[in-house]
Structure 1
Amino acid sequence: MNAYLIALSAIVKREALRFLHQRERFIAALVRPLVWLLVFAAGFRAALGLSIIPPYQTYITYETYIIPGLCGMILLFNGMQSSLSLVYDREMGSMRLLLTAPLPRGWLLFAKLCGSTAISILQVYTFLAVAWAFDIMPDSPWGYLAVLPALLISGLMLGALGLALSSLIRQLENFAGVMNFVIFPMFFLSSALYPLWKMAESSPLLRDICALNPFTHGVELIRFALYLKFEPIALIWVLASTAVFMGLAIWGYDPARGLTRRKG
């Protein structure tokens, strides 16, 4: 057990040091959601009127509605960015050295996942602090504490998705296209920017696709937690998706069956 904890601590520390040396990554992670919050929301406010829907008890502004979705955006983009570093490490050879450690490969990937998720949560709380400065906040300050488990679980799910994708990509140049193919459909086909009932008014099929999107359930888990409420269906979806994505990542990095062996 001591060896497992040492490996976990070392990998998380490595992720933290890499993050500290890439400050532009921290700024970029905040610019994207802030542009949506301060610019796009102003234009969408009139077009997307919102009714009273759970977990809200009264009518809310559009800026208030999209805060959980923008938190999910940070987790999603950072999860993909972290998996990009895995592709780079694999090309440089350091990833192969890591995976030769005498520990289960799943634990090494989980340690990598924990490091990237911790950084994502730090970025989300920084964004929530900026939103609070613009007077956009949950009803109770306890919501900032209650949302932590939801951020952790959703961050692990999206980070595991990034790990699974990185196991399928052989060259760094191909990663940008795969990211765009995954990130934008997941983000826009979700409840991050508009409620599902609004989507159903124009296309019931798109509404059903959004309802099956794991990112939607991650966003709803965050949304309900911010308002001190629990959404069990969203939790089940997120946990199940995390298990599937992590299983795919472990399979992909298995040299006996995955594409890592072909790369070598």
Structure 2
Amino acid sequence: MSAYLTALRAIVLREALRFVHQRERFLAALVRPLVWLLVFAAGFRAALGLSIIPPYQTYITYETYIVPGLCGMILLFNGMQSSLSLVYDRETGSMRLLLTAPLPRGWLLFCKLLGSTLIGILQVYAFLAVAWLFDIEMPALGYVAALPALLIAGLMLGALGLAISSFIKQLENFAGVMNFVIFPMFFLSTALYPLWKMAESSDLLRDICAANPFTHAVELIRFALYLDWNLAALGWVALSLAAFLALALWGYDPARGLVRRKG
């Protein structure tokens, strides 16, 4: 058991040190959602009306509505950037050293995933603090209640990036695939507009949004911030997490790589 904990501490610390040495990564994580919050929201406010929908008990400003979606955006970008580092580590050879440690490969990948998720959660709370300075506030206890939701949502989105990285062998290719995944997931979700608003335009788009795992991650965070739990969203996020983790474990299976090389 001590070996497992030692590996967990070492990998999480490595992720933390890498993040500390990449200050521009932290700034980018804040600037990106703040641009949406302070610039784009000002233009969308008049165009997109909002009704009273759960978990809200009254009408809210558009800026308040998109905060959970922007929290999800931070976790999504962080998960993809962390997986990008895996591709880099594989090219430099350090990934091989990590995965040849005398511990289950699944545990090593989970430690990497947990480390990146904790960093993403730190970025989310920094964003919420800046939003609070602009008078966009949530219930006080909601900031605490959102922690488990942010953790499971971050693990799910990080596991997606982990699964994608297992099939991408070159750093240049991953950047293109990352954009191909991030933007459809973000825009075809409830991050920027509710499902009923999407249904006014197209029932098909509404169904796509409803099936998007990122939508359920956003709704899980949204309800948690208002001291409520969306059990349906929790179930879908947990199911997606299990599926993405299984795909990542299969993708990083050395036996599969050996068979592919022989073929």
Aligned to 1:60: 60
Q: Which amino acid in 2 is paired with 1:119?
A: I
Indicate the residue corresponding to 1:134 in structure 2: 134
* Partner in structure 2 of residue 189 of structure 1: 188
CA RMSD of aligned residues (A): 1.3
Structural mapping, 1:21-40, within 5 Å:
21-40=21-40
TM superposition shift of 1:260: 10
Aligned to 1:10: 10
Can you give the 5+ residue segments of structure 2 that lack an aligned partner in the other structure? Answer: none
TM-score, normalised by the number of residues in structure 2:
0.98
Question: Would you identify which runs of 4 or more consecutive aligned residues in structure 1 move more than 3 Å?
Answer: 258-262
Task: Compute the displacement of 1:261 (Å).
Answer: 6.9
Match of 2:109 in 1: 109
Alpha carbons of structure 1 residues 217 and 259: separation in structure 2 relative to 1, 3 Å: farther
Relative to 1, partners in 2 of residues 1:212 and 1:260: Cα closer, same or farther, differing over 3 Å? farther
The equivalent of 1:121 in structure 2 is 121
**Equivalences for residues 1-264 of structure 1 within 5 A:** 1-138=1-138, 140-258=139-257, 262=261
| In 2, Cα distance between equivalents of 1:164 and 1:12 | 19
Q: When the two structures are superposed, what TM-score results if normalisation uses the length of structure 1?
A: 0.98
Structure 1 pair 175–251 and aligned structure 2 pair: CA distance change class (3 A): same
Shift of 1:258: 4.1
Give 2:197's aligned amino acid: K
State how far apart, in whole Å, the 2-side matches of 1:40 and 1:181 are. Answer: 22
Say if 1:251 and 1:258 are closer, same or farther in 2 by CA, change over 3 A. farther
Deviation track 1:167-219 (CA, whole Å, cap 9, x = no partner) reads 00010010111001100000000000000000000100000000000000000
**Matched residue SS, 2:74:** helix
Deviation at 1:75, TM superposition (A): 0.1
- The 3-state SS of whatever aligns with 2:140 is coil
1:22-61 CA distance string (max 9 Å, x none):
0000000111000000000000000001000000000000
| CA–CA distance in structure 1, aligned partners of residues 29 and 260 of structure 2 | 33
CA distance in 1, matches of 2:229, 2:121: 19
Q: Gapped runs of 5+ residues in structure 1?
A: none
Q: What is the number of residues matched between the two proteins?
A: 262
Structure 1 residues 196 and 260, CA gap change in structure 2 (3 angstroms): farther
Residue 137 of structure 1 deviates from its aligned partner by 1.0
1:91 shift after superposition: 0.2
Q: Is the CA contact (8 Å cut-off) linking 1:50 and 1:59 kept in structure 2?
A: yes
Structure 1 residue 6: deviation in Å?
A: 0.4
Q: Is contact 1:168–1:252 with CA below 8 Å preserved after alignment? A: yes
The DSSP-based 3-state class of the residue aligned with 1:78 is helix
